[in-house]
Chains A and B, each alone.
Chain A
């Protein structure tokens, strides 16, 4: 037993927080399927990486499942038509983002037929080459449905290249309020297990392990019944942020992912249960990702539950379909897309549901901690709560004084922005907001640095060009001069010859 184990035995292994989960009764209600709305708003960037490039024209009629925008670059994902209809515009709409900025989106008007295009499925995906599965998943625009929306094909391909041995499936759903993954596991356990097997085949892993928090006994039972011997279902303690990649890996495999490494470095790849389902649909039936399950919840939601919606549906319409807001939304304090811990506060409901939207929360004043921050009392609660073992109070005081480099020394780059520190802070210091700010600021500084390097290159190239031009000019001038001289010499020679011949003529 090493010193480290001894230490953790004494210190206890109590990272994370235990917020009230508020998952029921929404989790126990049957899924409602929302009909296709009249208009769908499909942002070109619904994933991490480069935005997709539109390949349709305004006025063009598309069928359900046709590609509207294709992936560009290494990390990207295409966007498909969630229903059949006509492209009416490509324009800027409010992004599902706390900044309230706009982003370009394709606006599709549904024709009501909801007619599929031809789909190329595959009856036996295990006979396919793993790379071919990756291509199909990429073509279907599948991204991580847990919230980060990282293109799944990139992850699968990277895992196969890195030679991972373990596929970890995240059924933790540790965010309070959300229950869409829980619902999926209860209702479609067999399909999820099939998807897990396909992903295991595609990533080249030998072991597939599903971690499900123990506050979802129904989901655990359903998954156990569906899984054979080859897919392990492991209950994990309910604790936020259990669903975070590095934490889940540590709990399920005992491996700690190094600070600046990725799970693939230790032979693990993590996917969400929803992603498993989407991968199965993409490979078996050739169906692209055009809809998702999300949770409508919060004290202000009149009828909380899980709703299956087409991507691009406005949050407004989803809320209205799911029973609207209590008291016409007068008690509404905050609109959140995603979970309450890591989700985004959105400015209004007129933003579309995107691939990474796991929930829509209408939170009342009693559910949001909107108190003014007091000074830090150095209680160390945040240090204990931090799942990454960082010192949030030290980092935040550095960031407050704009000493970003020092904050990095304290491990800012390892921060996963889970929000545990801000959640437990008795002084209500917005710790995680500091970290998100600092990460953005550092990214901005990186961009300026790259830009400066590019500028330097351009400046050098310009100097070279000016030199080359000057040299060429000088050479051209020299050549012309030489030509002139040669011409003059030739002329003189000719004249001399003429004179000579005249002389000869005379003499003759």
Chain B
């Protein structure tokens, strides 16, 4: 009885000390994966993923609480890059991909209040006070954070028309 208690206690103590020392030597500062993921993200902090900014999303993806496909502006390219980095299997075909959308200003409704331009994470909206605003197609990421700021509902998300340069041949039906 005494021998059993002693030996188990001793064993536990020795293993505990060994693990404690190992932990000291193998300490990992922060999570390097999260840092890498943040570097891969678009970085516009648009919030479409439902997390506060890209670093929040990166942390959520790294600890597994969010799917790699959660970033709409990143699209399939980002999703597959993250999945490859983390060694996850990812179902790209399940990713909602109804084409990119960008904000468009209806010029007859815009009153030039400048509220939308202030929230745009990429400075894609130009316009001075009391002047009709406009959206730079190339710079708009389609995050739609400007939509709700507009007091006259002059802003709307519209799909980017498919052009010959962007057309992708559809995948043949499974044989």
Show the binding face of A for B, using Cβ within 8 Å: 45, 95, 97-99, 101, 103, 372-376, 399-400, 402, 404-405, 427-430, 433-434, 436-437, 440-441, 443-449, 451-452, 454-456, 458-462, 465
Complex alpha-carbon distance, A97 and B168, angstroms:
12
Within 8 A of A (CB), among B49-85: 73-78, 80-81, 84
Complex alpha-carbon distance, A455 and B75, angstroms:
13
Known: A45-B164, A455-B139. 16 other contacts (CB 8 A): A97-B164, A103-B163, A372-B175, A400-B175, A402-B91, A402-B93, A428-B175, A430-B172, A437-B168, A454-B139, A455-B43, A455-B73, A455-B122, A456-B43, A458-B122, A461-B123
Cross-chain contact B77 with A433 (CB below 8 angstroms): no
Cross-chain contact B43 with A441 (CB below 8 angstroms): no
Give chain A nearest CB distance to B95 CB in angstroms: 9
Partner of B164, one of A99, A430, A447, A455: A99
Provide the residues of chain B in CB contact with A374, threshold 8 Å. Answer: 175
**B12 at the binding interface (Cβ < 8 Å):** no
Show the binding face of B for A, using Cβ within 8 Å: 41-45, 73-78, 80-81, 84, 91-93, 120-124, 138-139, 141, 162-164, 166-172, 174-175
Cross-chain contact B169 with A437 (CB below 8 angstroms): yes
Cross-chain contact B139 with A458 (CB below 8 angstroms): yes
Provide the residues of chain B in CB contact with A461, threshold 8 Å. Answer: 123
Partner of B42, one of A436, A440, A459: A459
Q: A373-B175, A399-B171, A459-B44 are in contact. Are A452 and B73 (CB under 8 A)?
A: yes
Complex alpha-carbon distance, A402 and B90, angstroms:
10
Interface centre among A373, A430, A433, A445 (most CB of B within 10 A): A445
Cross-chain contact B171 with A437 (CB below 8 angstroms): yes
Provide the residues of chain B in CB contact with A99, threshold 8 Å. Answer: 162, 164, 167, 169
Complex alpha-carbon distance, A98 and B168, angstroms:
11
Partner of B175, one of A429, A449, A458: A429
B interface, over-half SS: loop
Give chain B nearest CB distance to A379 CB in angstroms: 14
Specify the chain A residue showing the minimal Cβ separation from B89: A403
Cross-chain contact B168 with A440 (CB below 8 angstroms): yes
Give chain B nearest CB distance to A278 CB in angstroms: 24
Cross-chain contact A459 with B122 (CB below 8 angstroms): yes
Provide the residues of chain A in CB contact with B121, threshold 8 Å. Answer: 458-459, 462
Give chain A nearest CB distance to B18 CB in angstroms: 41
Cross-chain contact A375 with B164 (CB below 8 angstroms): no
Partner of A456, one of B44, B75, B164, B175: B44
Specify the chain B residue showing the minimal Cβ separation from A438: B171
Give chain A nearest CB distance to B63 CB in angstroms: 23
Specify the chain B residue showing the minimal Cβ separation from A422: B172
Specify the chain B residue showing the minimal Cβ separation from A445: B77
Specify the chain B residue showing the minimal Cβ separation from A101: B164
Give chain B nearest CB distance to A470 CB in angstroms: 14
Provide the residues of chain A in CB contact with B167, threshold 8 Å. Answer: 97, 99, 101, 440
Show 18 A/B contacts (Cβ-Cβ < 8 Å), sorted by A.
A97-B167, A99-B162, A373-B175, A405-B80, A434-B171, A436-B169, A437-B168, A440-B169, A441-B168, A444-B76, A445-B77, A448-B74, A448-B76, A452-B73, A452-B74, A455-B43, A455-B44, A461-B123
Give chain A nearest CB distance to B97 CB in angstroms: 10
Partner of B77, one of A103, A427, A448: A448
Provide the residues of chain A in CB contact with B45, threshold 8 Å. Answer: 459
Q: A101-B163, A445-B75, A449-B77 are in contact. Are A430 and B42 (CB under 8 A)?
A: no
Complex alpha-carbon distance, A114 and B93, angstroms:
54
Q: A103-B164, A455-B73 are in contact. Are A434 and B80 (CB under 8 A)?
A: no
Cross-chain contact A433 with B75 (CB below 8 angstroms): no
Complex alpha-carbon distance, A419 and B60, angstroms:
44
Provide the residues of chain B in CB contact with A456, threshold 8 Å. Answer: 41-44
Complex alpha-carbon distance, A436 and B167, angstroms:
11
Q: Which 9 A-B pairs have the closest CB atoms?
A: A373-B175, A440-B168, A445-B77, A458-B122, A456-B43, A448-B75, A459-B44, A448-B77, A430-B172
Provide the residues of chain B in CB contact with A449, threshold 8 Å. Answer: 77-78, 81
Q: A459-B43, A459-B44 are in contact. Are A405 and B123 (CB under 8 A)?
A: no
Specify the chain B residue showing the minimal Cβ separation from A50: B165
Complex alpha-carbon distance, A264 and B164, angstroms:
29
Specify the chain B residue showing the minimal Cβ separation from A456: B43
Specify the chain A residue showing the minimal Cβ separation from B170: A437
Q: A99-B164, A374-B175 are in contact. Are A458 and B124 (CB under 8 A)?
A: yes
Provide the residues of chain A in CB contact with B41, threshold 8 Å. Answer: 452, 456
Cross-chain contact A402 with B169 (CB below 8 angstroms): no
Complex alpha-carbon distance, A376 and B174, angstroms:
11
Cross-chain contact A448 with B78 (CB below 8 angstroms): yes
Provide the residues of chain A in CB contact with B163, threshold 8 Å. Answer: 101, 103
Give chain A nearest CB distance to B128 CB in angstroms: 16
